């Protein structure tokens, strides 16, 4: 591929060879290190390609072997530029496009979230925008380390965050608490702190100094594994202090309080056959769309499909096209029976428990009760779980005191 590109940049000729001593001509070219490629035999003789520099050295060989040379095609960038030398606007447009692509490559035009289970993509994107990280910002102004730290502070269930820029795309990869058993990629000195209240069932330390033992009661924010490692001499006296990235597995028994209310009266959507389609576009950060006339639709759903232009997998361009579909519906007021509302309540609770299991949270005991009242159904109670706890927190070098927490009998 590189050889083909170099040939195109330098330019080459496709020539026709005619004569009675063509084999001798080819042998003499090889003897003088004149490289010919794509040699093909045809009715008139041979058709082949040769570089511009070597073509001028063929004349004495052609005279010696009485071979006739004729140029069939001129290929490559130099000939292309020569043929189109009067098309100044064309080259100006090409130059403008190249400069535009380069300028766009200096910005972020798409943000992708990976690894989220408990938190929606919209919720995380909204928080990221609050931290002044958005599409259109320069890559040079992005402080990935600060953004990672702010996300870990905001969301307790997120134990590890990685912000990576590929092309013009910002990829935010998160690991929630249940995924912390995997080896952490956080290499800076840090502590592993509790993100929940509970009782330690087991602890395995891979790196750092453990601060709790089995049976210890922990609170949110307590240091579980410290990144401060004190080396002792033979007499047991402190010799040296090192700061490492704490890593380990801590399993704790936790309690989740669950509360949800379901109204017995509800509205059901009944869609009509009326719908309209509209189109819009986002150029850089500006949204453009013609007037959307919803007509007499008092209730409607708006469905938007977005198509983003990109070059390759990660080079996103600041151009998006939107298709908006408006669907009309009518609201019909209905009321659950006691049996129906209990089925709805059980489905909601089952879905909540399913999400916990997907996060590798083990359900020990379910104390949630369902009570149907006059106008509503109430789900309330505690769920006792067994899960991995711990989130990364940058180490504080000001306080190196380490105390091990342990329940007293």
Q: CA dihedral in degrees (114, 117, 123, 125; nearest 10)?
A: 0
Q: Which residue ranges make up each domain of the chain?
A: 2-82, 110-179, 191-255+390-394, 265-335
DSSP string, 136-165: T-BGGG--HHHHHHHHHHH-TTEEEEEEEE
- Asked whether 149 and 394 are in contact (CB, 8 A), the reply is yes
Q: pLDDT tens across 14-40, in order?
A: 999 888 888 898 899 888 888 898 888
Q: Quick check: pTM over 0.75?
A: no
Tens-digit pLDDT profile for residues 367-403: 999 999 989 999 999 999 999 998 888 875 554 444 4
Give the start-end residues of each E strand in 167-237.
169-176, 190-193, 198-207, 209-210, 217-218, 223-226, 228-232
* CATH architecture, domain 2-82: 2-Layer Sandwich (3.30)
Q: Who's near 247: CB < 8 A, 6+ residues apart?
A: 183, 184, 192, 205, 206, 207, 208, 225
| Best CA proximity match to 274, nearest among 329, 234, 197, 341 | 329
CB 251 within 8 A of CB 206: no
Q: Cα torsion at 57, 60, 63, 65 (round to 10°)?
A: -80
- What is the torsion angle, in degrees rounded to the nearest 10, for the CA atoms of residue 94, residue 98, residue 100 and residue 103? -170
Give the span between the Cα atoms of 286 and 306, in whole angstroms.
14
Helix (H) or strand (E) holding 10: helix 2-10
On whether the CB atoms of residues 216 and 199 are closer than 8 A, the answer is yes
Residue-level pLDDT at 93: 87
Instruction: Work out the number of other CB atoms within 10 angstroms of the CB of residue 393.
Output: 20
131: Cβ contacts below 8 Å, ≥ 6 apart: 146, 147, 150
Classified by CATH at the fold level, domain 110-179 comes out as Ubiquitin-like (UB roll) (3.10.20)
What is the residue-level pLDDT of the chain in tens, covering all 409 positions? 788 888 888 889 999 988 888 889 889 988 888 889 888 888 888 899 999 888 888 888 888 888 898 899 898 888 888 887 888 888 888 889 999 999 999 999 999 999 887 788 889 999 999 999 998 899 999 998 899 889 988 887 787 889 999 999 999 998 876 554 444 556 678 889 998 999 999 999 999 999 999 999 999 999 999 989 888 777 777 778 888 888 899 999 999 999 999 999 999 999 998 888 888 898 888 888 876 666 678 889 988 899 889 888 889 999 999 998 889 999 999 999 999 999 999 999 999 999 888 888 999 999 999 999 989 999 999 999 999 998 888 875 554 444 434 333 3
Residue 33, SS3 per DSSP: coil
pLDDT in tens, 164-186: 999 999 999 988 765 544 445 56
Q: Can you count the helices (H) and strands (E) in the chain?
A: 9, 23
**Domains 2-82 and 110-179 agree in fold:** no
């Amino acid at each position: 591929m590189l050889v083909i590109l170099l040939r195109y940049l330098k330019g080459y000729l496709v020539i026709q060879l005619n004569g009675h001593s063509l084999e001798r001509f080819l042998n003499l070219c090889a003897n003088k290190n004149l490289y010919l490629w794509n040699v093909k035999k045809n009715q008139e003789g041979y058709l082949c390609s040769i570089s511009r520099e070597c073509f001028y050295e063929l004349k004495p060989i052609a005279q010696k072997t009485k071979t006739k040379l004729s140029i069939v095609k001129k290929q490559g960038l130099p000939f292309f530029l020569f043929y189109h030398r009067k098309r100044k606007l064309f080259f100006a447009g090409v130059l403008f496009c190249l400069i535009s692509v380069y300028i766009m490559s200096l910005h972020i035009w798409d943000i992708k979230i990976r690894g989220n289970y408990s938190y929606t993509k919209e919720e995380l994107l909204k928080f990221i925008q609050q931290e002044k990280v958005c599409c259109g910002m320069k890559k040079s102004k992005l402080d990935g380390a600060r953004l990672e730290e702010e996300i870990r502070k905001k969301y307790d269930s997120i134990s590890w965050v990685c912000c990576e820029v590929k092309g013009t795309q910002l990829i935010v990869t998160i690991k929630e608490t249940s995924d912390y058993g995997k080896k952490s990629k956080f290499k800076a000195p840090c502590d592993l702190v509790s993100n929940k209240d509970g009782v330690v069932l087991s602890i395995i330390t891979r790196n750092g100094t453990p601060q709790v033992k089995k049976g210890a009661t922990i609170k949110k924010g307590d240091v579980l594994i410290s990144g401060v490692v004190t080396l002792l001499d033979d007499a047991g006296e402190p010799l040296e202090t090192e700061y490492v990235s704490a890593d380990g597995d801590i399993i704790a028994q936790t309690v989740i309080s669950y509360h949800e209310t379901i109204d017995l009266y509800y509205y059901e959507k009944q869609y009509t056959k009326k719908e309209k389609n509209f189109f819009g576009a986002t150029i850089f950060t500006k949204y453009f769309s013609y007037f959307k006339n919803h007509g007499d639709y008092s209730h409607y759903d708006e469905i938007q499909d977005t198509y983003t232009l990109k070059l390759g997998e990660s080079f996103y361009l600041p151009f998006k096209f939107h298709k908006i579909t408006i669907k009309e519906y009518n609201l019909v007021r209905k009321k659950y029976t006691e049996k129906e509302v209990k089925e709805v309540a059980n489905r909601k609770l089952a879905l909540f428990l399913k999400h916990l299991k997907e996060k590798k949270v083990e359900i020990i005991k379910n104390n949630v009760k369902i009570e149907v009242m006059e106008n509503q159904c109430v789900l309330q109670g505690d769920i006792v779980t067994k899960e991995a706890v711990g989130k990364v927190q940058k180490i504080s070098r000001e306080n190196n005191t380490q105390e091990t927490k342990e329940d007293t009998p």
